[in-house]
Every structure is written in structure tokens, then in C-alpha cells.
Chains A and B, each alone.
Chain A
């Protein structure tokens, strides 16, 4: 019951934060000068007329109410710049989301076992040469931005050795085999940083657990080192690690702006960059995607906090 109340409270807070930011964002966008771009084959007067019918030019708060009313039904307006008014923003978004999700799911599936494995190895062989090698690698891969690896992978694997296509083949659908094979370089790029992050975190947590008193007790009562590590240390170390994995899973949808642009993956991140870089910016896309990113970020935070409470009932993040 307590947990239920706690979740409800967190959800309420999240909703409040979300609506405040969304309002701010909407108002700021509406304050910008917004002249409709020329659309090929369409009369400017028609465009203006349609905009007027959509409520442009009314007070911002009236427009905002209208925006909310339609947003709930999944209608965010037409893409006026990128698709010249021919596509619904929401449709394009739904079309692009699978690519981002696919890419990131592959990356996470690759990262979790490798990252955790390296972290465990480093913790068990703490201060031995294996640990030093892993820690140095982790340091390098955590620090260097992923797009630097992107250049390296693209140059070496794609151009020099010709192992992979330099760009993704998206014609067969997001979860097809061709798409998978052609986005391997991108998956690698995304994974390096995540693997290093997991490894570092796992090592730190496991090191702390391995020196704790209850592990000593476990050894004293006769468990072997392996038994003690797997049954006692790992489980306790997973308490902070598991929420991290969970958070990672939620934020896979937000994608990576740079990697998607670099390997021409038709995902959400690339869409965001394109909508912002267009002149004038495609504000309908911008609003939708900004709201989407906010929601993802907030949800990830809340899921992490709640999962702490479920895994270890002693912890109540954000409660007093």
C-alpha cells in the first residue's frame, strides 16, 4: 500500500513537471516569428487560410488549449517544412521510431553482458593486471565521445577494409536482417560507451560489496569464493545496477542524435536534427519531439527510483 501511494505521488509530481515544461516550451515556440515557408505547388493564401483555421494568430493560451486537445488524440499538425505540408507529423514520427528502437535494442543486448562481465572480472581481479587493463579501457571509452569512434569505425571498417556498408539500408524495415547487418557499425559505436559505463559501475559496486562484512561471514560459514561471489555479492551489487539497466532501456527510444546522423539512420534523432536545422525550423516536429524527449527523460527517472524501491524495500528515493 505504501508503495502504491509512493508511486502515485511520484507520478503526480512527474505530470506536474511535465506540464510546466511543456507549457513553457509551447509559449517560447509561439513567441518566435513564424512565417509559413513556401510549399511547392500550393498557393500561399491557402496555406495562410489553413493556418488561420488551425488557430494561428489567436492568443497563445487559446492556441495552447487547442494544442492539448488535439495532442491527446495524437494530432500534432502537418509538417510544413520538411514534408511541405504533405505529411502528418505524428505519422512520420511513428514511422521513424522503430529504427531508433531497433538500433538501441541491439546495442543494449550487446552491451549488458559484455559490460557486466568486464565489470565483474575487474572487481574480482582488483588491482591485478587484468583490472588495470579493463579500467584503462573503460576510462578511455567513457571519456572519448562516441562520434570519434564513429569516425574511426566508419573509416577503418567501412572504407578501408570494406567490411560493412557505411550507411544503413532502411528499405527492408527496421527489424529486418538487412537493416541489422547494415547498422552494425552504428551499433558498435553506441555500445562502446554503454559497455564502459556498465563495466565501471559494476566494478565499483562489486568492489564495495566484496569487502563487506557479510561476505566475510559467507566465506566463514564455508562457501567457496565463487559461491559467495555469485550468491551474495552479485545479488547485492545488482541493487543499484539493475535500475541503471532499466533506465537505459527506457531511454533507448530517445536515440542518439549524432550516431543516427552519421550513419544516416532514419530515426527519431535524425528527424529532430533535421527539423531544427531546417529554415525556418519545423516547429510542429520540434514540439512533438521535445515533448517526447521530456517524457522519456522523466519516465526513465521515475522508473529508476521506483525500481529501487521494489528491488530493495529499504530504499525510497525522493521520499522523506
Chain B
């Protein structure tokens, strides 16, 4: 036996150089579970589109409130004047005059109303009637009436109104008016009294701040003898003049309205007054303001709302965005909480099985048999007084919501708990908790994530239904709910369909795209479908 420890290295050689056999390295990259799922998800065109729509809607919900100036949205809280701007139709500024989405609507008006609107344009320069579509006659018990179908600009038709101002406010408006060249303060009209400005006969004027001319009780323009007139130039102004005013000094110092005798002769007794002064020294100034321009003065921008305004005069675009944001946040929060509770509950059930499983299943059985409506109502009655409606709604969704997630997790645990890798982990001394959450749970993550994504549209649907029915009232000036918007829009659906259109469209789009997205996700995470679609 030769010395095997001291063999000369040179004597050793490979049998053949060619025989060296390495394990072949993998040319392809290994594909993980999530990567594979993502790859298969991308193949599903519908789900990709849906995912983009979901992202778009989420972005809208986040940034939608940024585009409306703050001093306008702040007015939601207690500004009652905002209601004057209710039901403005959707308007995009650069589509002005095209007839589509430009703040117009088709409206049927009487001949007298038509005359009023024309006169209003003559005074304010804002034209409410863009085009006469059709003229026709209607017969009723009083005889035939001429009606007009017109293209009606809701923004230019905002009514003038009488407002009480303090002297400083009054002067501030005057100053602003002079700087910007936009007329807010109109010559004062006694809307409530019966006396015409000059001469006889006395006619009864209707209570309307828009009518600046001598008119009968229906608002029809008449001359001093009570005869109707049709020519716009002949209208007789019914403004209160210096002569007829009770308190003379209206403290109006800036440019007067065209046609005012006070332009030529500032001391003329026939000059129009611009405020009715009540009270003594400082006094209140009752002023007739042009509401459209007053809006510009007060909120700093010209009224133009992408989605229009609702019954309170709130901008629907930002209001819907805040409602959407609430709905989405709420649904995500519930989904997350349900995921946590359901995962823990289901993991314990599935992992231990046996008697534990039986008892816990009975508990969730009983909970799931309670109608969700009953739960919601009871929680609302009990808790909304103390913790507020949002929290009570949250509780009621959670009380029964986690059961679906728990049973899903339980199934997964039953599937995995007897597999070899769990046995290996247990052999190495891992505790139960570690096996459950470090070994089994990550394996069932795909199904669980999909489940919690599909919970979101369900929660939004329930929340919208509840707020729509008015069972839960989440509304406040600062917080909107889509359901309540739908409900308020439904009442005036025939006249102003835009109020309901946009919330309904939003919900429909969100539901369809969320479900498509969720289903795509489910298919992608389902290993049994791998290769099935190729």
C-alpha cells in the first residue's frame, strides 16, 4: 500500500476533459407566487382597464375638492345665501355657447316670463335666454296661452335679491365694483309696494326684485295708462327716485347705471337711489344686488361648476369627491379591520380544529344569521348619540363583516396545516403562533387579499343604500355621502337630472370597475387556473 497521503498531484488527471459535468444553470429567472399572479393579471385586459378606472376614481376622490376655492367651500357650513345658487346646470367654461355642457338647459316658459327675462338682460347685461327653440300654444281653462321652449342659461338667470348691508359692507362693494367694472348694486326697486314711480294709475307690482319696470301684477310691462307694451325701449323704469325715497342719502358714490338721470345731473331729484336706508345714523342699507355678480364679489370667482350645483347650492363636483373619499376610506378601513379580525379568528379555527372549531363556528353562525339591516339600525340607535353615526356604522359593518374573511382563512388553514413544511417547522420546534402566521398565513395571502378587495365594493354599496334610504344620516356641511346626494337628486330628477346623474354615474362606474378588478385579481391568484387561459 503506497502512501495515499503523499500522492503527487501531477499524476492525477481527469479521465477526459469533456466529462466534466456541471449542473446546468437555469437560464430563466425564478418566478415567485406574486410575480406569477401579476403576470397573469396583466393578461386580463378588462381587469387592467378596470384597475385604471379605479385609480382614476380614487385620484378624483382625493384631489376633487382642491379645484373649488376655499372661501366657497367654507360657506357650506352656515351661509344661507348659497341656496340662491341652487340647481345650476353643469358648465365647462371653454364649451360656452356650444350647447353641450355649457350651463344651459331646455326650459318651457310663458310669454310673460320671456318678457321678464328679456328685460332682465336689458338691465343687467346677462342673457338668460340664448335661443328660442320652439313656440307653441297651450289651452287651459283660462284660454289659450302662448308658451316658448327656450335654451336657458341657468347661470345668467340667477335672481336678483334684496340684501341688508352695513355701511362698511356697502361701501366695500361699491369700491370693488368700481375697481373691477362689474356691477353688483342695482338701482333700488320697491318690490313690495304698489306705487309706481311716476304718475298714475297705481298698479300692483309683484314681489320680485327682478322686475325693474312698471308692470302689472303678473309682471307684464305696462305703460302709465296700464296698457301693455312690447317694445323694450319703452319700458318705464320703476326705480325709487330721490324724490320718492323716504330717507334721501343713499351714499352711492360710484358709476351709475346707464339711463340714470343722476349721470347728467348728480343733484337731479329724479336720480335713482341705490339703497333704501333704514334706521338712523349708521343705519342699514337695503340694497338690490345682482346675484350673479355678487357671487363673484363674495367668493372671488365667476360661477361655473363642472357638475352643477345641488339643492343647497353646493358644488356637486367637490361635494361628490368628498363623499367618494369618505366612502372609499370607510370601505378600506372596514376591509382592513375585517381582514385582521377574520384572519386571527379563522386562523385559530382552522389551525386547532376540533372542539375549538366547532364552538367558534357556532358563534359566527349565529352572528351571520342576524340581518345586517337590524344590526345597523340597532347600532345606530344605541351608539350614534354618543360616538357619532360614522363610528356606529363602522361597528355595525364589522360585527358581521369579518365572518366571510374568517371562513376564507379557515379553509386555507385546513388546506395547509397538514402539509410537510408545517410538519418540518413543528419538528424544528416552532411554536403554534409562529407556524400560523409565519408559515401558513403567507401561503394563503393571495386569496385573502383578493377577498378583502372584493369586500370594498360591497361595503360601498351597503353604505350608499343606507344613506340613500336615510336610515343612517352621515351628512353635514363638511361631509357628504353619495347616498344622500342620490336621494336629494331623486326628488327633482324630472327638472334637474344633473343632480342625480353624476353621483349615480360615479357609483355605477366604481361598482363595475371594482368588481372587474377584484375578479381579475381572484383569477390571477387562483393557481388552479394557471395555464387555463392560454
A positions within 8 Å CB-CB of B: 17-18, 20-21, 24-25, 28-29, 31-32, 139-140, 142-145, 147-148, 151-152, 154-155, 159, 257-258, 261-262, 272-273, 276-277, 281, 286, 290, 293-294, 297-298, 301
19 more A-B contacts (CB under 8 A) besides A25-B378, A32-B381, A139-B516? A20-B366, A21-B366, A28-B378, A139-B512, A143-B515, A144-B511, A145-B507, A148-B507, A151-B486, A151-B493, A151-B504, A159-B493, A257-B373, A261-B469, A277-B470, A293-B373, A294-B369, A297-B369, A301-B369
Q: B465 touches which one: A28, A155, A258 (CB < 8 A)?
A: A258
Subset of 8 A-B contacts with CB under 8 Å: A17-B366, A25-B378, A144-B512, A151-B490, A155-B494, A159-B493, A273-B470, A293-B374
B464 contacts partner chain A, Cβ-Cβ < 8 Å:
yes
Q: How long is the Cα–Cα vector from A261 to B471 in the complex, in angstroms?
A: 12
Q: How long is the Cα–Cα vector from A140 to B494 in the complex, in angstroms?
A: 25
Cross-chain contact B369 with A298 (CB below 8 angstroms): yes
Q: A148 touches which one: B369, B382, B494, B508 (CB < 8 A)?
A: B508
Scoring B371, B471, B508 by chain A CB atoms within 10 A of each residue's CB, the highest score goes to B371
Given contacts A17-B366, A28-B382, A290 and B516 within 8 Å (CB-CB): no
The closest CB in chain B to the CB of A159 belongs to B494
Cross-chain contact A155 with B377 (CB below 8 angstroms): no
Q: How long is the Cα–Cα vector from A197 to B214 in the complex, in angstroms?
A: 65
B294 contacts partner chain A, Cβ-Cβ < 8 Å:
no
Q: What is the 8 Å Cβ interface bit string for chain B, positions 371-411, against chain A (1 contact, 0 not)?
A: 10110011001100000000000000000000000000000
Q: B365 touches which one: A17, A144, A262, A297 (CB < 8 A)?
A: A17
Q: How long is the Cα–Cα vector from A286 to B471 in the complex, in angstroms?
A: 13
What A residues does B469 contact at CB under 8 A? 257-258, 261, 273, 277
The closest CB in chain B to the CB of A281 belongs to B381
Q: How long is the Cα–Cα vector from A32 to B383 in the complex, in angstroms?
A: 10
Given contacts A32-B382, A143-B512, A145-B465, A294 and B374 within 8 Å (CB-CB): yes
Distance of A125 from chain B, by nearest CB (Å): 18
Kindly state the interface size class of chain B when it binds its partner: 20 to 34
Distance of B468 from chain A, by nearest CB (Å): 6
Q: How long is the Cα–Cα vector from A298 to B365 in the complex, in angstroms?
A: 11
Distance of A34 from chain B, by nearest CB (Å): 10
What B residues does A140 contact at CB under 8 A? 512
B414 contacts partner chain A, Cβ-Cβ < 8 Å:
no
Closest 8 CB pairs of A and B: A143-B511, A143-B515, A293-B371, A143-B512, A290-B374, A144-B508, A159-B494, A17-B369
Cross-chain contact A297 with B464 (CB below 8 angstroms): no
B457 contacts partner chain A, Cβ-Cβ < 8 Å:
yes
Distance of B386 from chain A, by nearest CB (Å): 12
Q: How long is the Cα–Cα vector from A29 to B380 in the complex, in angstroms?
A: 12
Cross-chain contact B512 with A25 (CB below 8 angstroms): no
Cross-chain contact B377 with A148 (CB below 8 angstroms): no
Distance of B46 from chain A, by nearest CB (Å): 8
Cross-chain contact A155 with B457 (CB below 8 angstroms): no
Q: How long is the Cα–Cα vector from A293 to B507 in the complex, in angstroms?
A: 27
B497 contacts partner chain A, Cβ-Cβ < 8 Å:
yes
Distance of B328 from chain A, by nearest CB (Å): 16
Cross-chain contact A290 with B371 (CB below 8 angstroms): yes
Cross-chain contact B512 with A294 (CB below 8 angstroms): no
Cross-chain contact A147 with B468 (CB below 8 angstroms): yes
B287 contacts partner chain A, Cβ-Cβ < 8 Å:
no
Cross-chain contact B471 with A273 (CB below 8 angstroms): yes
Distance of B490 from chain A, by nearest CB (Å): 7
What A residues does B371 contact at CB under 8 A? 290, 293-294, 297
B370 contacts partner chain A, Cβ-Cβ < 8 Å:
yes
Q: How long is the Cα–Cα vector from A272 to B469 in the complex, in angstroms?
A: 11
Given contacts A143-B457, A143-B512, A143-B515, A31 and B374 within 8 Å (CB-CB): no
Q: How long is the Cα–Cα vector from A257 to B373 in the complex, in angstroms?
A: 10
B500 contacts partner chain A, Cβ-Cβ < 8 Å:
yes
What B residues does A272 contact at CB under 8 A? 373
Cross-chain contact A257 with B374 (CB below 8 angstroms): no
For window 195-220 of chain B, which residues contact chain A by CB distance below 8 Å? none
The closest CB in chain A to the CB of B466 belongs to A257
Distance of B395 from chain A, by nearest CB (Å): 13
What B residues does A281 contact at CB under 8 A? 377, 381
Cross-chain contact A262 with B490 (CB below 8 angstroms): yes
Cross-chain contact A286 with B516 (CB below 8 angstroms): no
The closest CB in chain A to the CB of B385 belongs to A33
Given contacts A143-B457, A151-B493, A294 and B468 within 8 Å (CB-CB): no
What A residues does B493 contact at CB under 8 A? 151, 154-155, 159
Q: How long is the Cα–Cα vector from A298 to B516 in the complex, in angstroms?
A: 31
Distance of B249 from chain A, by nearest CB (Å): 52
Q: A277 touches which one: B378, B471, B486, B507 (CB < 8 A)?
A: B471
Distance of A285 from chain B, by nearest CB (Å): 11
Q: How long is the Cα–Cα vector from A118 to B456 in the complex, in angstroms?
A: 28
What A residues does B72 contact at CB under 8 A? none
Given contacts A31-B382, A145-B507, A294-B369, A155 and B515 within 8 Å (CB-CB): no
The closest CB in chain A to the CB of B483 belongs to A147
B461 contacts partner chain A, Cβ-Cβ < 8 Å:
yes
Cross-chain contact A147 with B512 (CB below 8 angstroms): no
The closest CB in chain B to the CB of A320 belongs to B358
What B residues does A277 contact at CB under 8 A? 469-471
Q: What is the 8 Å Cβ interface bit string for chain B, positions 428-455, against chain A (1 contact, 0 not)?
A: 0000000000000000000000000000
The closest CB in chain B to the CB of A261 belongs to B469
Given contacts A21-B370, A297-B369, A147 and B486 within 8 Å (CB-CB): yes
What A residues does B471 contact at CB under 8 A? 273, 276-277
Q: How long is the Cα–Cα vector from A17 to B514 in the complex, in angstroms?
A: 34
What B residues does A31 contact at CB under 8 A? 382
Q: What is the 8 Å Cβ interface bit string for chain B, positions 460-487, against chain A (1 contact, 0 not)?
A: 0100110011110000000000000010
Given contacts A142-B515, A258-B468, A294 and B504 within 8 Å (CB-CB): no
Q: How long is the Cα–Cα vector from A255 to B4 in the complex, in angstroms?
A: 93
Q: How long is the Cα–Cα vector from A230 to B514 in the complex, in angstroms?
A: 36
Cross-chain contact B461 with A145 (CB below 8 angstroms): yes
